Structure 1
Amino acid sequence: MDKPARYYLDHNATTPLEPAVFAAMEPWLRGPVLGNPSSLHTEGRRSRGAIDEARDKLAQWLGVGASQLVFTSGGTESCNLAIAGLARAAAEAGRARHVVTCTTEHAAVRESCMALATQHGFHVDALQTDTQGRIDPERLAAVLRPDTALVSIMSANNETGVRQPMAELGRLCAERGVPFHSDVVQTAGKEPLAWRDWNLSALSLTAHKFGGPTGAGLLWVKAGLPVRRLMEGGSHENERRPGTENTAAIVGLAEAAVRSLGATPNAWREREGHRFALVELLWKELSTLLSAAPASGAAPTALRRNGHPTERISNTLNISFLGLNSEELLIGMDLAGLAVSSGSACLVGSVRHSHVLEAMGVPATEDSATVRFSLGSDLTEEAIRDIARRTARVALHQRSVRDKLRARRLAGAGA
């Protein structure tokens, strides 16, 4: 009997490397001779030419100047360089020591801001979201100060997919003359980045979220905005990020970016509309399958959808399975052929209560398992129904086992 298909449903953590992207990278991985892009010989100039071409492609893709782009090792480094680099440059110029962020940010942003507070004497305001994960722009307006050096708000959350009101937040920053940075890691590649409408001064992204390689990040900083380098070394990347550039990874980043939105102007709309509908179908199927008591007599498994149902990126569904255990559920789903996660992959394989859900007011109860489904572009409606059936079987089985164990404990206590 054929083994049932596995479904990879963790695209917010990383996406498969697209074959066309690998093909573009391969000459810079195999050789025959690979030169250091800082060298003056023929091999070095070839590598430099590939990097320059990739930079130009990305500049055109974003609609910015090529000299404003900084290649990094990924989204985390890009966010660190943006936040610490911009804030510390402002402080050294004697202008500001106040930074604003949000309680649901990725650790790359949250911890960078906290380091500014603990190591460099900055005051940090972390904006609270509502119960659906959205920021009220009035909260930002209330904390902006004359000495605010930077505001950093992610465009869409990696755990819930919730979008922030970027245009309204950016308008407030522009009116006060405050630089506005965004971690756009979860938005990039899914839709055009409307950085002008958002009044962004800087943005961070990484290739492996949209079919590119790991280890390839990008920071865009608006012309004229000083950035303090965080590492000492050579004069690479216009003296903003020292270290020999990774030619293959940079070529892959550019190739993935220009391919990410499709070959026609509306291709991304059709793709994301399809994924949005599949997420709604998955939620509907799971709600139906788990709403009724199973034949075993166990209680039905209650579900809670976390995050705004419509103000979200298209591919993400975050659900709490009440009364179940997170680690047990994730392992059970993996054994059932479903690759999912409980939230951020940057917690290095750990299963713990999410700071994102905590900030949204979701209780940190032990018996509450949360699963993030983040879909790719290769699924059909029938596949979604199969995913829902497998998930329901695992959840109902685990609920039945836990109910039996609880009944035995109660019986033992009363004996």
Structure 2
Amino acid sequence: LPEGATATDLVLTVTQMLRKKGVVGKFVEFFGDALAGLTLEDQATIANMAPEYGATCGYFPVSAATIAYLTATGRDKARVALVEAYAKAQGLWIDETSEEPVFTDTLELDLATVVPSLAGPKRPQDRVELTVAAPSFETALTDIFNRPADAERVAVEGEKYTVGDGDVVIAAITSCTNTSNPSVLIAAGLVARKANALGLKPKPWVKTSLAPGSQVVTDYLTDAGLQKDLDALGFNLVGYGCTTCIGNSGPLDPAVSKAINDNALVATSVLSGNRNFEGRVNPDVQANYLASPPLVVAYAIAGSMRIDITTQPIGQDKKGNDVFLKDIWPTSAEIAEIQRKSVTPAMFAKRYKDVFKGDKHWQAIAVTGGQTYEWDDSSTYVANPPYFEG
């Protein structure tokens, strides 16, 4: 991938391509020379978006990247060796000596053409390059949301700031796909670190959150000292698992919500999730954009989709000087260095050795055991389906 592009940008590009092609009911396998440069985490980011690009599944062949991941995450050496031997014996392995598979149809993507992107305001396949995200929103504001382009900002009750169309009211690092990939999480932490050093903060109307897909994320962000930088920008840990992507964003500040609804404002969210359908993220937010975790942090600081963050300042430093995205964006080398130092097999081994035991709350659940599930007729959550009867 080019310098500055992320695995998220790649998957948004792939999603757009496959939606345009039409792959409903298809099995999509990824192959080609670029596989050698993709980590398994990058591959998982792409494969896990299969529902969004419409395929029955998306998958990658087993390769050296698979073995590297299993080793790096503390798996038993004998199990890792078995996986490699089995994949090779069954013809599931791919490397530079493998014959190219035969497919019913193919698409080609040159990874060198991938650029920083978002997707929105309503569908995962509606990718917009970062350089045109601001004018794209202006078009959507009038053409999709039927709002005048020059509507005035409105006061927020009890606050000293105003809100308007295009303001980012939710900035969420969420979703198992992007938050299981160390490269983009570390990138987000580095953006936060550089922003903190310059005295930048999110705009006061932005609700920020961090919901990793794994507790290991907390371990390596803490080890690298990046969690405190994210905390300083309001990206505090809210839990592990699905949050904003499935609507678990929680309510906005009541005064902000009132200002939005009383004035029919088109508020926006920027999240590192998989889905951005209208009404899914938050009832107060009409325009939702998918983006990489570091871009989520950047938009929290900028506070608006109407700012071209590639050319306009996203804020001012402690001395009042303009700060641009390029001033806080990490290099690939910076990200890789921290990943090498802070993401260790020991972290995975420690977190997952007792994964099936659960925490004290899980262990406190009363169970009776047995070969079949004992239905609780009073449960409002898990009910016995009628098609199990006679």
Give the shorter-chain TM-score range.
under 0.3
Instruction: Tell me the TM-score normalized by structure 1.
Output: 0.24
